[in-house]
Structure 1
Amino acid sequence: MLTTVAVANALAVSAGPASAAPKPTSPQTTVLPVVDMEATVLAAQIDPRRADSTLTPGAKDSVLAVEQALQARNLLDARWVDGYFGTTTISAYAAFQRSLGYSGLDANGLPGKTSLTALGQGRFTVARPLTAGTKVQRDGYTVDARTQAMLTEAERLLGFTLVLDQGSYNPGGDPTSAGTHDGGGVVDINVDGMSADTRTNVARVLRQVGFAAWVRNPTQGDWPWHIHAAAISDTDLASEAQHQVGDYYLGMNGLANRGPDDGPRIAIQTWEEYQRTH
């Protein structure tokens, strides 16, 4: 006959230790990949202008995430999901922008903060976002807030005021500009009274703060001497201005002949990169 103690011990063994009881489980949080918007927008400007399929440094993972999201929406074939933001990806992204109801400049295939965030819903998050900002007036022309800030910093470095000959958001306003001023981020600087050395230095400082900038002369086209400047990675850039920025990164002059860069050579950087080091 089992004693009372023995029965109690037997029941404890059969029941097993209290720690063996199932524990409640908490739902696992999915960590989404991060798309670096600065790197993605840069690739969207440079990659379509390349003669090969070289990837923009630091952009591959972000571009892949964007392309995978476009593929999931049946806007991009799987063979183009390769981390290269070429013309096919530009077209697919423009189609996505149109699906959001955008048109014209807002559906040019260059990622904007709102469309990129919408594309990433449930798939990726957006880091280092870019925005052109509100439109402001300068010298009687329209520019965006980001461009205005860049020009203001260039003036601080130069020690004198810059005067515009042409601003941004000027569709069809100057046929000699081939559409580069149709969107944001692009200005022409008046150089009246500047020496050759001063013109070159202005172009150098504009490049320093994040513009693709060149001194233009009458032998190159139907225009007077001026400095043409396109703000790298301005999300309102017209397609033609995007092409100029891409060519600038590839060592070209930003003209239709795609000749060698004839401006002062410095390390290329965006406005955001400049701000992080100053």
Structure 2
Amino acid sequence: MVRARSAVLATVAVLGCLALSTPASAVTARPAAATALPVVDMEAVVLAAQIDPRRADNTHTPGATDSVLAVERALQARNLLDAKWVDGYFGTTTVAAYAAYQRSLGYSGLAANGLPGTSSLTALGQGRYTVTHTIGPGAKVTRDGHTVNTRTQAMLTEAERLLGLHLTLSQGSYNPGGDPSSAGTHDGGGVVDVSVTGMSAATRTAVAKALRQVGFAAWVRNPDQGDWPWHIHAAAISDTDLSTQAQNQTGDYYLGFNGLANHGADDGPKVPIQTWEDYQRTH
């Protein structure tokens, strides 16, 4: 028993000496947990980029502040946005900075319109944030002889289902240099004019309502408002190919205006305002 106890004590002593002689650099430390990157909600950022520049104050778009801040910090890090504008408000200065970033990637035209697209938003966020709820216009297709994108096409198809009637376009999207009375709203994607030939006043209103339900900013236009015939003008909210003029219209729609240069009160049917993506989540 004495010998066994002595052997145990000797072993403990040896282990203790080894521990004391082991250099600190040889001790493997447990790696620290990686810091999670902020998450940027693309839907929220794109919506803010349409609404915020049209506000008379600097009120933030609900649900977008944290995402906008992450984007603005990334723009500031690239010396494209002064620190005083990093405030969670995607106003005209941030739109201009984002457009400059898009141009720095080699984009031009609609791809450098200041509305974040999936590719540019993801590239800007490398190592800074991750992107969720990505959206895009899709490919260009033909409808009634006019060009639209697949997102707009899907929205129109759903509006037709709600109405139980076919909607015929009198003007499509991606139509620069088209009808001058459109003031550039049809230069990009997401914007269409719907023919109202043969429609009663009640049907025109019903069509505008259905278009609004699926995510368009839509109004019945009449000859008293401008140099155009009766028609329904519709701009797909958050289409990332929207021209600047169409971006302004969708922002005005959220703020209760008619989308015209006179900045009058919204004269369309009242429905809860939502995007196409909002509609899809609830139907």
TM range (shorter): over 0.9
Offset, 1:11: 3.4
Distance between the aligned counterparts of 1:198 and 1:101, measured in 2? 46
* Structure 2: distance between partners of 1:7 and 1:230: 85
Equivalent residues in 2 for 1:38-117 (5 A)?
Answer: 38-117=43-122
Which shifted more, 40-49 or 28-37? 28-37
Which whole-Å CA distance do the structure 2 matches of 1:119 and 1:27 have between them?
Answer: 26
Counterpart of 2:251 (choices 243, 246, 252) is 246
Indicate the larger mover: 106-115 or 237-246: 106-115
User: Is 1:170 aligned to residue 170 of structure 2?
Assistant: no
- Which runs of no fewer than 5 residues in structure 1 stay unpaired? none
The correspondence for 1:179, drawn from 184, 187, 194, is: 184
1:110 deviates by 0.7
- The one of 260, 276, 281 equivalent to 1:271 is 276
Deviation, 1:106, is 1.1
Q: CA deviation at 1:245?
A: 0.1
State how many pairs are aligned. 275
TM-score by length of 1: 0.95
Give the alignment of 1:1-278 within 5 angstroms: 4-5=6-7, 6-15=9-18, 22-26=27-31, 28-278=33-283
| TM value normalised by structure 2 | 0.93
Paired letter, 2:82: D
* Range with greater deviation from structure 2 (2-11 or 108-117): 2-11
How far did residue 248 of structure 1 move?
Answer: 0.1
Moved more, 29-38 or 175-184: 29-38
SS of 2:192's equivalent in the other structure is strand
Q: What letter is aligned with 1:163?
A: T
Q: Distance in 2 between matches of 1:89 and 1:111?
A: 11
Per mean C-alpha deviation after superposition, the further-off stretch among 102-111 and 226-235 is 102-111
Give the Å deviation of 1:105.
1.3
Amino acid at match of 1:247: D
Instruction: Supply the distance in 2 between the matched residues of 1:8 and 1:220 (Cα, whole angstroms).
Output: 98
For residue 92 of structure 2, what is the amino acid of its counterpart? T
Stretches (4+) displaced over 4 A = 12-17
Q: Tell me, what secondary structure is at the counterpart of 1:229? A: strand
The SS at the match of 1:215 is: strand
Paired residue secondary structure (2:210): helix
Q: Which runs of 5+ in 2 are unaligned?
A: none
How large is the Cα RMSD of the aligned pairs? 1.8
User: Distance in 1 between the 2:64 and 2:126 partners?
Assistant: 20
Letter matched to residue 13 of structure 2: A
User: What letter corresponds to residue 144 of structure 1 in structure 2?
Assistant: N
